[in-house]
Amino acid sequence: MAGNSQLTVAAHALTWIELHRRIGEGTATSEGVAGSVNTNPVVIRRLLGRMRDAGLVHSRRGADAGWVLARPLEDITLREVYEAIEPPPLFAMHRSDPNLGCPVGSGIQPAMRPVYARVEEAVRTELDRITLADVLRDVLASR
């Protein structure tokens, strides 16, 4: 089963925008971000549109068109990014109802729902402890 890469791509895009600014390259374009992510600029524009809606980036038009962070990396957590991309739940129930005449079939979903809720909250809690500044620091340290 493949994992969802949206959080990784969003963190990549946001940290790239900041690094681009720090090295004096100015406003980041969707094309520039897409080149780093190795994807289509349309994918980046859609993703950054969700980041804009969440207040994490601003878009500029005109001569200096592109994307800038709305706040410093130190003030943006991975949880905020995660919630901005509105990911699907980590775990889901059966695609169709199980056999409710079976003791396991009738009890599995009520047993698993609270487990999944606790796991989701644990993920969000961990993501809340990590800022994009932490991510950029670790990216640069791994080179």
Encode the chain (143 residues) as per-residue pLDDT tens digits. 445 889 999 999 999 999 999 999 989 999 999 999 999 999 999 999 999 999 999 998 888 889 999 999 999 999 999 999 987 788 888 889 999 999 999 999 999 999 999 999 999 999 999 999 999 999 999 98
Residue at 1 is within a domain:
no
Q: Distance of alpha carbon 111 from its chain centroid, rounded?
A: 29
Could you give the CA distance from residue 11 to residue 131 in angstroms, rounded to a whole number? 10
How is 72-100 classified by DSSP, letter by letter? -GGG-BHHHHHHHT-PPPSS---SS---T
Q: Provide the residue range defining the domain that includes 53.
A: 6-141
CATH number at residue 45: 1.10.10.10
98: region left, alpha or beta (phi > 0 left; psi from -120 to 50 alpha): beta
Total domains, the chain: 1
Question: Where are the extended beta strands (E) located within 22-142?
Answer: 57-60, 66-69
